[in-house]
């Protein structure tokens, strides 16, 4: 009886090892592809940006800045930008970051508010925390252009 259960134990270990290896093999090869996939590809990113727009409208710290903008074009351009930045097969065709955000006098508080809303939108779409952080890391280099520093 003891021998039988120890055999079963060894079998379980081998099975777990095999499944783990199989899991590794089927994982995407490049980190770029995996971040894009973790965001839910273009459709998932489009949903995140849509949720972000609702959060922006409700956020008193930044909603004034967005008054009167072309919502459809903002949605398309930000979706393409995040898709491209995450390694997806998209090409951002919107305006330069420095040009778009000129004359907005964006403060650190406003920059952080937008980042916070993006995190909330990713949470709502079940994006794993590691993937959230990887996307934020790729947005950080845009900070000086958005803030006009």
Stretch that binds ligand HEM, among 23-31, 38-46, 95-103, 126-134 (CB under 6 A): 95-103
47 and 125 in contact (C-beta within 8 Å)? Answer: yes
Measured from the CB of residue 38, what is the shortest distance to ligand HEM in angstroms?
18
Rounded-to-integer distance, Cα 134 and Cα 143, Å: 15
If binding is defined by CB under 6 A, does position 84 make contact with ligand HEM?
Answer: no
The correct pick among 32, 74, 120, 138 for binding ligand HEM (CB under 6 A) is 74
106 and 65 in contact (C-beta within 8 Å)? Answer: yes
The correct pick among 6, 17, 18, 95 for binding ligand HEM (CB under 6 A) is 95
- Separation in Å, CA 98 to CA 57, 94, 101, 136: 23, 12, 6, 18
When computed from its CA atoms, the radius of gyration of the chain, rounded to whole angstroms, is 21
Closest to 92 in 3D by CA, of 129, 31, 138, 148:
138
Measured from the CB of residue 57, what is the shortest distance to ligand HEM in angstroms?
12
What angle is formed at CA 139 by the lines to CA 27 and CA 121, rounded to 5 degrees? 75
If binding is defined by CB under 6 A, does position 125 make contact with ligand HEM?
Answer: no
The correct pick among 38, 110, 117, 132 for binding ligand HEM (CB under 6 A) is 110
Instruction: Tell me whether residue 38 or residue 90 sits nearer to ligand HEM (CB atom).
Output: 90
If binding is defined by CB under 6 A, does position 139 make contact with ligand HEM?
Answer: yes
Site for ligand HEM in 42-71 (CB under 6 A): 62, 65-66, 69-70
58 and 109 in contact (C-beta within 8 Å)? Answer: no
Q: Which residues bind ligand HEM (CB under 6 A)?
A: 62, 65-66, 69-70, 73-74, 77-78, 81, 94-95, 100-101, 104, 106, 110-111, 114, 139, 142, 146
């Amino acid at each position: 009886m003891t021998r039988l259960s120890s055999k079963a134990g060894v079998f379980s270990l081998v099975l777990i090892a095999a499944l783990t290896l199989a899991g590794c093999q089927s994982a995407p090869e490049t980190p770029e592809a995996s971040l894009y996939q973790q965001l839910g590809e273009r459709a998932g990113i489009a949903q995140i940006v849509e949720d972000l727009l609702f959060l922006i409208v409700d956020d008193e710290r930044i909603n004034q800045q967005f008054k009167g903008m072309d919502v459809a074009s903002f949605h398309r351009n930000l979706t393409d930008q995040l898709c491209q930045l995450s390694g997806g097969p998209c090409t951002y065709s919107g305006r330069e970051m420095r040009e778009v955000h000129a004359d907005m006098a964006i403060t650190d508080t406003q920059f952080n508010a937008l980042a916070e809303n993006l995190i909330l939108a990713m949470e709502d779409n079940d994006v794993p925390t590691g993937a959230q952080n990887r996307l934020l890391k790729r947005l950080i280099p845009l900070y000086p252009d958005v803030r006009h520093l």
